[in-house]
Amino acid sequence: MNDAYLKFVNSPFGGRLARSLGLPKPEVLRRYRADRPEFGGLIAIGAGREPRLLDAFASFIASVGMTSVAHESAGLWVPLATRHGLMTGRFEPAEAGSPGKLAALLFDASGIDDSSLLEPLHGFFHDTLRSLGKCGRIVVLGRPPEACANPRQWTAQRALEGLVRSLGKEARRGITANLVYVEAGSERGIEATLRFFLSPRSAYVSGQVVRIAAQGALAHDAAAFDWRQPLAGRRALVTGAARGIGAAIASVLAAEGAHVIGLDIPSARDALDATIRQLNGSTLAFDIAAPEAAAQIAAALDELGVDIVVHNAGITKDKTIAKMTDAAWQSVIDINLSAQERIDDALLAAGILRDGGRIVAVSSISGIAGNPGQTNYATSKAGVIGRVQSMAPQLRARGITINAVAPGFIETQMTAKMPFALREAGRRMNSMSQGGQPVDVAQTIAWLAHPGSAGVTGQVVRVCGQSLIGA
């Protein structure tokens, strides 16, 4: 952890000092550890009228072994939970004086079809938010607005975004708040996504809106998998894997069971070997800027094929545009964007990326919001968003998903070199008041690469602690 301030204010003396001076006190985020239980504690359930997803919740909660309590808005929950053999009780607002009692808040807003029916959301979060513990989880589920039958329903569902983003900014204390739009018919496909957003794996993902599509062809290859080793038997190509975020991605995918093929430029071969050796993976040393690299990568992967492609390799060459050379513009666009296109085209045309596969591309908050001094980088990263949005429909028939993650301020060697004031602003201007870790990006990618994420495609998920900065 590079954040000395975070350590300081969470020491006994530092904490007292921060309190007396009114300084921000970022929470030490709880992150996933293989040696600790991933789920546990009490989850409060709330619902609007005619909730459609309670059954899907119940089987999820049963499978992870949490205990539920029903808010008065979710009157249907108790009999339903009992049918599923779940431990359950009623949430008593009187206990709101007992902070930290709850581990998660889950609200089913799927049946709300008019703006005048949004009130149960207020009732639920009004009653429960203070009882949610540190690093707690908030998930609201609704229906994709654009798939709604009429403008009133679309409007009510779209309104949920404003609520969830506000809750994330209001809750603080390491709490995340996310909105999942579940298309009718995709209920069976929500478990991998619910697990991610309720797990410590999503420690630095907040204020996000994710859609789960009815899977149809996408369910293609979802086959059976083991929740403890969901990527077992799968081969994952990770570009830029030698160091930093790429190395974290390789490590998390390997921990989930994948055979990782780490790729980096020939000059980083030693670091790449060191990173990948401990994961029992294999390595490829190519410069993806070279026109022939895509064909070479395809040839190298041809025999065994690949199931997951993570486009992580990227460079920055920051300068104001008036001072930016043509070479600095071109190389950033080429490596961060065009090379991804060339590699995917080669792997897809030859069927090397198998049906049911996963593509995850690394975009950036700069690609969403723009950034001074990064016209080249922001253009390339906005293009990555276009890639994901444009290719998702085309890849559907083959059951392949394509998504992007957009990191915010992540603590790396690169950010450690930033000027102090800029670094501190980037670190603090988010709902967690701290930078993220490479593993936060990696865990998000692992969720998107999951066989259970077949319904998640064409999306951009920020890993930014709900940064204030956006478009």
Least separation in angstroms between residue 224's CB and a copy of itself is 32
Q: Which SS3 state, helix, strand or coil, does residue 260 take?
A: strand
Contact criterion met (CB below 8 Å) for 444 and 202: yes
Residue showing tokens 């077992």:
232
Q: Which is nearer to a copy of itself, 273 or 341 (CB)?
A: 341
Q: What is the size of the binding site for a copy of itself (CB under 8 A)?
A: 77
Other C-beta atoms within 10 Å of 297: how many?
Answer: 24
Closest separation in Å from C-beta 95 to a copy of itself: 14
Strand order in the sheet with 102-108: 88-90, 67-70, 42-47, 102-108, 132-142, 176-182, 209-212
Q: Considering the rule CB under 8 A, would residue 220 count as an interface residue with a copy of itself?
A: no
> Can you tell me which residue has the tokens 């998920």?
461
Residue 180 or 446 having the CB closest to a copy of itself: 180
Binding test (CB under 8 A) with a copy of itself, winner from 50, 92, 146, 302: 146
The footprint of a copy of itself on residues 221-240 (CB under 8 A) is none
Residues from 346 through 375 that contact a copy of itself (CB under 8 A) = 366-375
Is position 159 an interface residue for a copy of itself (rule: CB under 8 A)? yes
Residue 157 touching a copy of itself (CB under 8 A): yes
Strand partners, 142: 181
Helices 151-171 + 119-128 axis angle, to 10: 20
CB nearer a copy of itself, residue 260 or residue 365: 365
Which residues 373-402 are close enough to bind a copy of itself by CB under 8 A?
A: 373-383, 385-387, 389-391, 394
DSSP state letters, 425-452: HHHHSBTTSS-B-HHHHHHHHHHHHSGG
- In the block, residue with structure tokens 């607005």: 145
Give the Cα separation of 464 and 96 in Å (integer): 30
Residue 121 touching a copy of itself (CB under 8 A): yes
The residue range among 196-204, 233-241, 317-325, 410-418 that interacts with a copy of itself, by the rule CB under 8 A, is 317-325
Could you say whether residue 164 binds a copy of itself (CB under 8 A)? yes
Respond yes or no: is residue 181 known to be catalytic.
Answer: no
| Closest distance to a copy of itself from the beta carbon of 364 (Å) | 9
Q: At what angle do helices 269-277 and 244-255 cross, to 10 degrees?
A: 20
CB of 97 to a copy of itself, least distance (A): 12
* Residue 292 near a copy of itself by CB under 8 A: no
The values of phi and psi at residue 410, to 5°, are: -115, 135
Which of the following is catalytic: 5, 181, 204, 377? 377
Of 116 and 413, nearer to a copy of itself (C-beta) is: 116
Q: Give the SS3 label for residue 23.
A: coil
Residue 2 vs 331, nearer CB to a copy of itself: 331
For position 316 contacting a copy of itself by CB under 8 A, the verdict is: no
Q: Considering beta carbons, is residue 63 or 155 the nearer one to a copy of itself?
A: 155
Please report, as residue ranges, which positions from 38 to 77 form the binding site for a copy of itself (by CB under 8 A): none
Under rule CB under 8 A, residue 158 binds a copy of itself: yes
Structure tokens belonging to residue 146: 């654009």
CA angle 200, 368, 383 (to 5 degrees): 110
Q: Does 331 help bind a copy of itself (rule: CB under 8 A)?
A: no
Work out which of 80, 160, 248, 353 binds a copy of itself, going by CB under 8 A. Answer: 160
| Site for a copy of itself contains 273 (CB under 8 A) | no
Decide: 340 and 358 in contact? Cβ < 8 Å: no
Is 182 a binder of a copy of itself (CB under 8 A)?
A: no
**Nearest residue to 3 (alpha-carbon basis) of 436, 440, 429:** 436
Say which DSSP state 243 is in: S
> Which stretch, 141-149, 218-226, 309-317, 352-360, contacts a copy of itself (CB under 8 A)?
141-149
Of 332, 291, 298, 327, the C-alpha closest to 313 is 332
Query: What letter represents residue 80's amino acid?
Result: L
Q: Which amino acid belongs to residue 224?
A: A
**Residues labelled catalytic:** 377
